Amino acid sequence: MFLELTEVVRQKFIATTQRRFSRYPDVFTKMYDFTRANTARAFGYYPYFLAIEETDATHVTLNGRPVVMLGSNNYLGLTNHPAVIEAGIDALKKYGAGLTGSRLLNGNTVLHEQLEERLATFVGKESALVFSTGFGVNLGVIAATVGPGDLIFTDELNHASIVDGIRFSRANSIKYHHNDMDDLAQKLANCDPNKARMIVTDGIFSMEGDIAKLPMLTNLAHRFGARIMVDDAHALGVLGPNGEGTAAHLGCTHETDLIMGTFSKSLAGLGGFIAGEKVVIDYLKHHARTMIFTASLPPTTVATVLKALEIIQQEPERRVQLWNNCQYINSELRRMGFDTGASESPIVPIIIGEDMRTFNMWRALLEAGVYTNPVVSPAVPKGRSLLRTSYMATHTREQLDFCLDAFHRIGRKYGLNQG
C-alpha cells in the first residue's frame, strides 16, 4: 500500500513538472529517465551503499550477519588499532569535534603541521601539504600545476580524481595506453616542444592491482623535459622498504617530482597530501583551490593519521604479513583457474568480463559470507567487468581459506575456474 501511494505521488509530481516545463527543456529529465538503480534493486543485484552495522576490520556485519571483508583498502588493518583510536579520542577532548573553517584562515593546528613534516620526511621530499580528501589533492594540485596551453600525459587507467583534475585544469590531456612506455614515448616525441608538460600516473592501479613502471616514466620525463607526479593512494604503507610508496620501492624518489598519498587506505583515516620541493608546495598552499576553500581536517583525524604513520614505521611486520596474505591468495586463485590479470599488490581482481555475471557472482559470494566489490564500466573498460578483492595484514589464514572455498564453489557455478 505504501509503495503504491508513493508511486501515485511520484507520478503526480512528474505530471506537474512536465506541465511546468512543457515549453522548455528540463535539466531533471535525465534523472526521471534513470532506472538502472531501481531495476537492480528490484532484482536483488544492487551492490552499492550496503549499510554496515558493525566492523572489526576483517569482518563486517550486514543485516545482523557477519561477512568477511574483502572490499576494503584497510591494507595494514589499522582502523581498529587501540593506539589509533586512543589518539583520536585524546585529540577530540583537546580540540573538539572540528575546526569549522579552512586551514588558510582558522583551521590550522600544530597537529596538521607535524603531520606534514613527518609525511615529507617519510616519502623523502622537502615539504608536504595536507588536504581534506585524497580526491581534492589530485583535483587541486593538477589544476594549479598545469593549465590552458600545457600538456598532461595520463595513463588510460588512472583514477577518476586524476581525470577530473585534468578536466578542471583545462590543460590538453593526452592519454597513453596502460603502462605502455613505447606509446607514451611516441606521444611525447610528437607533441609541441614549446609547451610545458607533465606526466601523471597511479602508483598501484586501483582496479587492476599492477604497479606503474616508474623508472621508465622518470627516464621519459627527463628525456622530454616533463615533470612527473605519482598518485600513491594504494601504495603508501604497502610498497617500499618502509612503506614509503612506489618511488622508494623502485628506487626513483629523487627523480619523481610530486608524490601524492591518501589517508583513507593504509593510514586508516580520511584526507590526503602532496609532497615535493618546498617552493612547489608553498605555491600549491596558496593556489590549490580544493585546499584553500575546503574545511580543514578535524584534529581527531589528523591525530589518528599521525599515530597510524608511527605504527607503520614501528611495526614493519604488518607489511610483511600483508604481502604473505596477498601472495597466498593470488597464487591460490590463479591455481584454481581464475584470471587475476597482472596484479602484483594487495588488490587482486577476479576478471569476469560480462556485467550481469559479475553482479550474480558478487551476490552469491555475499550470500556465502564474502564481501567483494563488483566493478563495471566506466570504472574499468567495457568487457572487463571484475570483482575487486583486496587484502589486509590482519586477515587470518582461516579467513582467507574460507573465502577461497567460496570462490572455488561459486566460480565453478559461473564457469570461471577449473572444476
* Distance in angstroms (rounded) separating the CA atoms of residues 417 and 403: 15
Whether 1 has a pLDDT exceeding 50, the answer reads no
Whether 234 is catalytic: yes
Domain match, 345 and 226 both: no
Whether 19 has a pLDDT exceeding 90, the answer reads no
Whether 81 is catalytic: no
Whether 225 has a pLDDT exceeding 50, the answer reads yes
- Choice among 112, 187, 234, 408 that is catalytic: 234
Q: Do residues 174 and 218 touch, judged by C-beta distance below 8 A?
A: no
Domain of residue 88 covers 82-314
- Answer yes or no: is 148 within a domain: yes
Whether 6 has a pLDDT exceeding 80, the answer reads no
**35 CB-contact burial (10 Å; exposed 0-12 / middle 13-18 / buried 19+):** exposed
Q: What is the mean pLDDT of the chain?
A: 94
Whether 15 has a pLDDT exceeding 80, the answer reads no
pLDDT at 404: 98
The number of folded domains in the chain is 3
Domain match, 177 and 106 both: yes
Domain match, 173 and 99 both: yes
Question: Span 89-105, mean pLDDT?
Answer: 96
pLDDT at 58: 96
* Distance in angstroms (rounded) separating the CA atoms of residues 338 and 408: 9
Q: Nearest Cα to 26, choosing from 42, 37, 36, 15? A: 15
- Answer yes or no: is 135 within a domain: yes
End-to-end CA distance of the chain: 47
Query: What's 157's domain CATH number?
Result: 3.40.640.10
Whether 265 is catalytic: yes
- Choice among 127, 161, 206, 296 that is catalytic: 206
Question: Span 306-333, mean pLDDT?
Answer: 97
Question: Span 112-119, mean pLDDT?
Answer: 98
**pLDDT class of 196 with cuts at 50, 70, 90:** very high
* Distance in angstroms (rounded) separating the CA atoms of residues 175 and 191: 12
pLDDT at 403: 98
- Answer yes or no: is 323 within a domain: yes
| Residues pairing with 258 in the sheet | 229
β-strands 227-231, 258-262 pairing: parallel
Domain match, 387 and 302 both: no
| Residues pairing with 65 in the sheet | 62
pTM: 0.93
pLDDT at 17: 62
Domain match, 112 and 61 both: no
pLDDT at 21: 64
Whether 419 has a pLDDT exceeding 60, the answer reads no
Q: Hunting for cell 580524481 — which residue is that?
A: 161
- Answer yes or no: is 151 within a domain: yes
Three-class secondary structure assignment of the chain: CHHHHHHHHHHHHHHHHHHHCCCCCCCCHHHHHCCHHHHHHHHCCCCCCCCCCEECCCEEEECCEEEEECCCCCCCCCCCCHHHHHHHHHHHHHHCCCCCCECCCCCCCHHHHHHHHHHHHHHCCCEEEEECCHHHHHHHHHHHHCCCCCEEEEECCCCHHHHHHHHHHCCEEEEECCCCHHHHHHHHHHCCCCCCEEEEEECECCCCCCECCHHHHHHHHHHCCCEEEEECCCCCCCCCCCCCCHHHHCCCCCCCCEEEEECCCCCCCCCEEEEECHHHHHHHHHHCHHHHCCECCCHHHHHHHHHHHHHHHHCCHHHHHHHHHHHHHHHHHHHHCCCCCCCCCCEEEEEEECHHHHHHHHHHHHHCCEECEEECCCCCCCCCEEEEEECCCCCCHHHHHHHHHHHHHHHHHCCCCCC
- Answer yes or no: is 173 within a domain: yes
Domain match, 153 and 91 both: yes
Question: Span 143-153, mean pLDDT?
Answer: 98
- Choice among 265, 307, 395, 408 that is catalytic: 265
Question: Span 361-377, mean pLDDT?
Answer: 96
Domain match, 295 and 395 both: no
397-413 and 317-336 helices cross at what angle (nearest 10)?
A: 20
pLDDT at 2: 43
pLDDT at 24: 84
- Answer yes or no: is 335 within a domain: yes
Whether 9 has a pLDDT exceeding 70, the answer reads no
**pLDDT class of 415 with cuts at 50, 70, 90:** confident
β-strands 54-55, 59-62 pairing: antiparallel
Show which of 314, 338, 360 is a domain's final residue: 314
* Distance in angstroms (rounded) separating the CA atoms of residues 394 and 181: 36
Domain match, 182 and 283 both: yes
- Answer yes or no: is 419 within a domain: no
Read off the C-alpha cell for 180: 605502455
Domain match, 10 and 51 both: no
